[in-house]
């Protein structure tokens, strides 16, 4: 992989700004287990096109999710994969299919839909509403399938499939450590499918793939700091910080779409 070619396409200042944004995303992801793609899409998306932004984040997102999934070891990760296999299977397949349409979708429409969904869902929860999963195994399976569909469509189009997964896990009342691990598993599956899909769609050319590799170091350094913060947070503070970040990310996506 040629790590010099990105500097021939993008200015050093632009790459540095992207690295700072990605490092911030790594800190937040380490602390609450998500939001790296949303912060990257919102921040880097103000500097690059939506298509370039989606391509730029694929490698650091993959590595950060790999770390998050297996942080507690192999056995807990396997147990999480078995528990949420429907969600991950449906989401992964849809990401691979829907991602082929990325070059055909306008940046403004993409950001507008995501911004409305994310900011509305997070805002009503901050106002006091708590999502609750329905009683009964069959009803929960249906909710898991629906979550997989929504997450797959959002992930394929914009590389952001975290909010539906997160709201589903909150509705289940998942314990903090288990929630972060489940998020990591879902995000890992999605990032693998996204890389494969965009290698096929042509969005990941040699230059943007090299630029994506350059973003891995700042993300992992930021995530290392964020993980230390996560271990010190109580569950309620963890939940509220998660929702605040979701709401801010959604509002920024709306700003990007409208202005």
Percent of the chain with pLDDT over 70: 94
The neighbour count for residue 29, using CB atoms within 10 Å, is 34
Q: Which whole number is the average pLDDT over 73-85?
A: 93
Whole-model pTM: value is 0.76
CA distances from 13 to 9, 10, 18 (A): 12, 8, 9
Distance CA 37, CA 24 (A): 11
> From start to end of 114-249, where are the E strands?
none
Is the pLDDT at 107 greater than 70, yes or no?
Answer: no
C-beta of residue 35 within 8 angstroms of C-beta of residue 25: yes
Q: Which whole number is the average pLDDT over 75-85?
A: 93
pLDDT of residue 81: 92
Angle of helix 74-83 relative to helix 85-98, nearest 10 degrees, comes to 80
């Amino acid at each position: 992989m040629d790590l010099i070619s990105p500097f021939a396409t993008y200015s050093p200042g632009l790459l540095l700004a992207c690295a700072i944004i990605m490092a911030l995303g790594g800190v937040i992801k380490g602390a609450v287990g998500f939001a790296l793609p949303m912060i990257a899409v919102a921040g880097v998306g103000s500097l690059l096109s939506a298509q370039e932004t989606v391509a730029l984040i694929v490698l650091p997102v993959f590595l950060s999710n790999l770390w998050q999934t297996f942080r507690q070891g192999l056995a807990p990760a396997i147990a999480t994969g078995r528990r949420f296999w429907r969600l991950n299977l449906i989401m992964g397949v849809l990401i691979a299919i829907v991602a082929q349409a990325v070059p055909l979708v306008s940046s403004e429409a993409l950001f507008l839909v995501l911004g409305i969904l994310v900011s509305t869902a997070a805002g009503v929860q901050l106002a006091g509403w708590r999502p609750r999963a329905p009683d009964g195994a069959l009803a929960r399976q249906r909710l898991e399938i629906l979550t997989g569909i929504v997450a797959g469509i959002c992930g394929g189009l914009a590389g952001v499939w975290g909010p539906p997964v997160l709201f589903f896990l909150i509705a289940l009342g998942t314990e903090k450590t288990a929630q972060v691990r489940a998020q990591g598993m879902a995000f890992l599956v999605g990032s693998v499918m996204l890389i494969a899909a965009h290698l096929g769609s042509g969005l990941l050319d040699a230059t943007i793939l090299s630029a994506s590799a350059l973003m891995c170091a700042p993300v992992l350094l930021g995530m290392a700091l964020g993980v230390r913060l996560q271990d010190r947070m109580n569950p309620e503070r963890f939940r509220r910080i998660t929702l605040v970040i979701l709401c801010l990310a959604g509002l920024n996506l709306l700003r990007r779409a409208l202005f």
